[in-house]
Each structure stands twice: as C-alpha cells, then as structure tokens.
C-alpha cells in the first residue's frame, strides 16, 4: 500500500502549489525512487480534470551525456522538454536522487555547457510563469541518498520532509494558505526598507534593497518552502559574511566559506575545505562575483541542516545569499551561469538591522515586523 502521506502531498502539489484546473496539460517528472509520488500526482491530476504525462529523470543518462556527449549532444534539448516549457500549463519536478554525489566526478565546464543550452527555455518558462501562463513546482522527495547526506535514517528524514511540508496539519492546504498570508505581510514590511545589515559571528554585511521587490516563497514553486527573497542592489554589497553550513552545488562542496565584499564584488574568499572549487565557481564569469539573491529562511518546521538545499535555505532563523544570477521578478540585474545559495545561521546571536533599526534577533523577527 502506498504511504498515505504521499496522497496528502499530492493534494498539496495539485490543489495548492500548481492549482491544477480541468484541461491543464501537466508534466510530472522525477527520479526513479519518486514513482510512488508520481503515481499519486498522476491520479490527482486526472481527478482534477487535467491531462498529465509523466517521465522519469534517469541519472545514468545524464552521466553518460556529460561523460561521452559531443558538444552538439550537450547543447541539444529534447523535444518533449522544449514543448512542455513553451506550451504546457504545469510542470512538477520531484527531486528524489538515488545518489546525491553522482556528478562529483563530472567536468564542471561540460555541466555548465549543458545548463547554458537550456537557458533560452528556462528564460521562456520563467517569463511565462511570471505572466501566469505556466505554473511549476520543485518538490523534495525523501530517498535513502538524501537521508544519508543528512546523516539520518530514511524514516527520520521522511518525517522531517513531511513535517516541513505541513502534512501533519489536519488540512495541509489550509496550513499553507495561513503561512502564505504571514509571508505576504513580511514581504510588505521589507518592501518599505532601503538598507539591511546582517550581524553575526564573523559577519557584518550591509546592502541596499531599495526599489527591489521582495517575493514570498510560500509553497507555490518549492515544496517544502518558506522564505522571502529579493535581489540586493548589486554594487551596494559591503562587508563580510561567514556561512554556517557547507555550501554545496552540482554535487561538490566548500566548508566554512567566508566572503568579503567591496563595491558589490567578492574581493576575498576562503574555505577550510574546497577553497579551490569555491574560487573556480566565483571565477566562472563576472556575475559570479556578485550577489543575485538575499533571503530569510522562515520554515520553523525545518530546524536542522540536512545538506539538501531545498530544505536548508528554508530553515527558520537563517538567511541565505546567492552568488550569481538574479531571480526574475526581484528587480535584480545580475547575470551569470552561476546561482549558488549559501546559508548563514542567525539563531544564536544573529541580528538584522533595517535602515538602522533592529528588526530581527536570534533568528526571529521582532514584534511589528512579521505581524
């Protein structure tokens, strides 16, 4: 019998995140371990009157392409993917890897080339999504590999993920709606600010946010979710920041990353492990030295670091900053092939000042900010 939590999760994804309507053309994809959820999503989509198709994402094929593919093959985007991004209504992607490090040995330049080939389609679907013609969601699915990366058992990790998706609420959709309303208020509060300053151990970072848009991320395009993000004014970032958790991207990692910014650019970067990799990423292109995103993690059901970015960047009481490409809709203007999120824990002694006023301490917004 399928895990009854999967049916609930499917209801949230279909009924809330993507709000599937009759006649919608829906694409559902995920790694092979996610098939139990794909099946529930397929059923829920059919019952919602939509036209779902499903496809498995096969890591071994991606590995083979990265290893053996010619440039023509790396640059080619399959017909079904192109059509779904340009003409489909809904796209649900389930991230449930069998091995979180399967690309650790792949050539970063070839990986970047494959990602770049998809840029035009990515831009297209982000535009379509901005205009409300396309709804997409990335959902984390607990697998042995993710549990192992988090240093816990599968059942423990499942509980963490499902709690973070509010499945233990009597009515998860209603819980997401309530939570979303809270994030909207917080977004409105932050929209009135021009400068933020983050203070914590080894961290004192200031940047402008005036004129930029804060976007509440409330379970529509990520699940689990819970953050409010914007794109800082690029040239205004000054100071230092030390990231509490390992920074991972494309199957590789750098530990204890410290960055110093001057005039919006990284001028010093160090890590206790993976420093070479860190510098390689930052040197990828001009935009990789600048900040594309700043965000508050606000999901209090996520309390511990798991090594899975989808969860880590949502940990209630953290902030994260991304080097590289800006997120459309925030007003951010930075362009890069990189978008690397790094998380800084503010739960013990961290402070945030908005236009000189203390608004956040020890991982929590002070009264008046979030209500």
Partner 1 sequence: MRDPRVERLAGLMTGYSLRLGPGQVMRINGEESALPLATALYRSALARGALPYLNVIPAALDEILLADASEEQLAFISGGEQLQTEQVDAWGTIWSSSNTRALTRIDPARRRTHLSAQFRLVNRLWQRVSTGELALCGTLFPTQAHAQDAEMSLAQYEDFVYGACHVDGDADPIAHWESVSAQLTARARQLDGVRELRILGPDTDLRVIVEGRPWIPSDGRHNMPDGEVFTSPVEAGTEGEIYFAFPSIFQGREVEDVRLWFEGGRVVRADASTGQDYLRALIGTDEGAAVLGEVAFGLNYEIDRFTRDILFDEKIGGTMHVALGGGFDEAGTKNTSDLHWDLICDLRADGEVYADGELVWRAGNFLIEPAVARA
Q: Is the peptide bond before 224 cis (omega within 30 degrees of 0)?
A: yes
Per CB under 8 A, which region of 75-83, 126-134, 248-256, 349-357 contacts partner 1? 75-83
Burial class (CB in 10 A: 0-12, 13-18, 19+), 82: middle
- Residue with Cβ nearer partner 1 (43 or 250): 43
**Angle at the Cα of 89 (from 87 to 91), degrees rounded to 5?**
105
- Window 4-33: contact mask with partner 1 (x via CB under 8 A): ---------------------x------x-
Is residue 24 a contact partner of residue 14, using CB atoms and an 8 Å limit? Answer: no
367 binds partner 1 (CB under 8 A): no
Among 2, 19, 71, 73, interactor with partner 1 by CB under 8 A: 73
Toward partner 1, which CB reaches closer, 63 or 238? 63
Calculate Rg over the CA atoms of the chain: 20
Stretch that binds partner 1, among 10-18, 48-56, 236-244, 306-314 (CB under 8 A): 48-56
Minimum distance from residue 21 beta carbon to partner 1 (Å): 13
Phi, psi of 65 (to 5 degrees): -65, -45
122 belongs to the binding site for partner 1 (CB under 8 A)? no
In order of 90, 257, 263, the CA distances from 254 in angstroms are: 35, 7, 24
Write each residue from 234 to 263 as x if it is in contact with partner 1 (CB under 8 A), else as -, in one continuous string.
------------------------------
Residue from 49, 105, 156, 349 touching partner 1 (CB under 8 A): that is 49
Please give the Cα distance from 365 to 367 (Å, whole number): 7
Q: For residues 267-296, which are near partner 1 according to CB under 8 A?
A: none
| Residues 320 and 217: beta-carbon distance below 8 Å | no
Residue 25's SS3 state is: strand
List 3, 7, 15, 35, residue binding partner 1 (CB under 8 A): 35
- DSSP run (H or E) holding 138: strand 135-140
- What residues line the site for partner 1 (CB under 8 A)? 25, 32, 35, 38-39, 42-43, 46-47, 49, 51, 53-56, 58, 60-61, 64-65, 68-70, 72-73, 76, 78-81, 83-84, 87-88
């Amino acid at each position: 019998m399928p895990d009854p939590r999967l049916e609930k999760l499917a209801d949230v994804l279909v009924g809330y995140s993507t709000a599937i309507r009759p006649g919608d053309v829906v694409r559902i994809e995920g790694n092979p371990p996610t098939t139990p959820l794909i099946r529930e999503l397929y059923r829920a989509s059919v019952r919602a009157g939509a036209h779902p198709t499903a496809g498995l994402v096969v890591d071994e094929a991606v590995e083979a392409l990265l290893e053996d593919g010619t440039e023509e093959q790396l640059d080619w985007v399959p017909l079904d993917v192109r059509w779904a991004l340009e003409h489909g209504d809904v796209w649900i992607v389930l991230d449930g890897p069998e091995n979180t490090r399967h690309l650790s040995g792949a050539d970063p330049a070839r990986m970047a080339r494959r990602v770049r080939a998809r840029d035009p389609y990515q831009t297209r679907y982000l535009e379509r999504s901005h205009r409300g013609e396309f709804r997409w969601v990335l959902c984390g699915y607990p697998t042995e590999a993710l549990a192992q990366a988090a240093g816990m058992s599968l059942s423990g990790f499942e509980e963490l993920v499902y709690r973070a998706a509010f499945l233990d609420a009597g009515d998860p959709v209603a819980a997401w709606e309530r939570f979303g309303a809270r994030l909207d208020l917080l977004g409105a509060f932050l929209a009135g600010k021009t400068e933020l300053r983050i203070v914590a151990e080894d961290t004192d970072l200031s940047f402008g946010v005036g004129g930029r848009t804060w976007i509440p991320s409330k379970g529509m395009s990520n699940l689990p979710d819970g953050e409010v993000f914007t794109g800082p004014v690029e040239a205004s970032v000054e100071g230092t920041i030390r990231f509490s958790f390992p920074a991972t991207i494309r199957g590789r990692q750098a530990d204890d990353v410290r960055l110093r910014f001057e005039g919006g650019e990284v001028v010093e970067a160090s890590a206790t492990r993976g420093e070479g990799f860190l510098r390689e990423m930052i040197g990828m292109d001009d935009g990789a030295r600048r900040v594309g995103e700043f965000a508050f993690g606000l999901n209090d059901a996520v309390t511990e670091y798991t090594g899975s970015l989808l969860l880590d960047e949502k940990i209630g009481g953290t902030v994260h900053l991304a080097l590289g490409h800006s997120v459309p809709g925030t007003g951010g203007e930075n362009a890069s092939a990189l978008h690397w999120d790094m998380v800084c824990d503010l739960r013990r002694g961290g402070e945030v000042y908005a236009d000189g006023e203390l608004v956040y301490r020890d991982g929590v917004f002070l009264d008046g900010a979030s209500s």
